[in-house]
Amino acid sequence: MSTESIDPDLQEIDRWPLERAVAAILAGQGRAVAAVVRVDEAIAHAATAAAARLGASGRIAYAGAGTSGRIGVQDGVELTPTFGWPEDRLAFFLAGGPDAMMRAVEGAEDDEGAGRTAVREAGLGGVDVLIGLAASGRTPFTIGAVREARERGALTIAVANNPGSALLQAGEHAILLDTGAEAVAGSTRLGAGTAQKAALNALSTAIMLKLGLVYRGLMVNMRISNAKLEGRAIAMIERVAGVDADRAKDALATAEGDIRVAVLIALGHDREAARRSLETGEPFDATVDRLRG
C-alpha cells in the first residue's frame, strides 16, 4: 500500500534540523490537498447523488476506524450548527464504539461483522447515505459497514487513499485520494488524514448546497447558539432582505431564531406563511428572489 511505503527522500527526517522537517511535513500536506482537487468531479457526483437520495427524512452516516472514523465524526457533528442539519438525521459507526473517539480500541477495526451489525441495528435503508472512510482501503469494519448499507439499499460513498482497494470496490461512489507515502511512514493522520478531511469538507458542504441550505454563500440555516452567531444572523437578514438592523432583529425574534423564516418575515410574510413556504412551497432562493422583485 502506498500509504505504508517509505519515502526515500524522507527516511532521515528524524535527523534533520527541525525547520527542514516541518517544511517537509507541510509540503506533504499541500500534496494531500492537491490529491483532493484531482477528484473534484467524483466528489461533486457523489454529493449530487446523496442530496437526491436524502429527501426529507434520509440520514447521513459515517463509518470508519481510528483516524478515519474520528475525521468522519468531526465532519458530521459540524453539519448541525453550520447548516441546521437535524441531529437525528446523523449516524456514526466508529470501530470500537464511542470510546474509540478518545483512545485506540485494539482489534476493533478488524471485525467486519461489527460494521455490518452497526449498520443493521441503525436500520439504514433506501433514503440514507453512508460515507465509509479508510486510508488503507482495506479496513474490515468499514468495508462491512459499506457492504451492509449497500445491500440494504442505502447510497454508499467510499473514501480511501490506496488505489484498487476493497473499500473503493464496495462503495457505489468511489473517491480515491492518492496521497502516497507519508512523511513518517504509515502515519496516515498526516497526508491521508488531511486529504480525507478536505474531501469531506467539500462533499458535505456540496450536499448542503444542493439541498438549498445556503443562500448566496451565506449559512442561512445555521443554529444560533451564542451572541456572536445572533449578530451574524441579524447581519444576514439585513443583507438578504434589504432591511435595517432593528427590523432584522425583530424578524429573527418572531421567527424564533429560524433565519430563513426571519428573512421571509422581513420581506412581508407572516410567520406561519413563511414556515409553510419553506415546508411545501417553492425553494427558499426562488421565494426570496421573487419577493425582492
Q: What residues pair up with 90 in beta bridges, in sequence order?
A: 60
CB 161 within 8 A of CB 137: yes
Q: Whole-angstrom Cα distance, residue 48 to residue 207?
A: 7
Question: Which 3 state secondary structure label does DSSP give 215?
Answer: strand
User: Catalytic pick from 12, 41, 78, 256?
Assistant: 78
151 is catalytic: no
Integer CA distances (angstroms), 64 to 76, 221, 290, in order: 12, 28, 44
Distance CA 180, CA 41 (A): 20
C-alpha cell recorded at residue 187 = 502515519
Residue 109: active-site member: yes
Could you give phi then psi for residue 241, rounded to 5 degrees? -90, -15
CB 167 within 8 Å of CB 131: no
Catalytic, out of 4, 12, 109, 279: 109
Task: Report the length, in residues, of the chain.
Answer: 293
The candidate with the shortest Cα–Cα distance to 63, out of 170, 162, 165, 153, is: 170
Question: From CA 127, how far away is CA 1, in angstroms rounded?
Answer: 34
**CB neighbours of 21 closer than 8 A, spacing ≥ 6?**
13, 14, 183
Q: Which residues are catalytic?
A: 78, 109
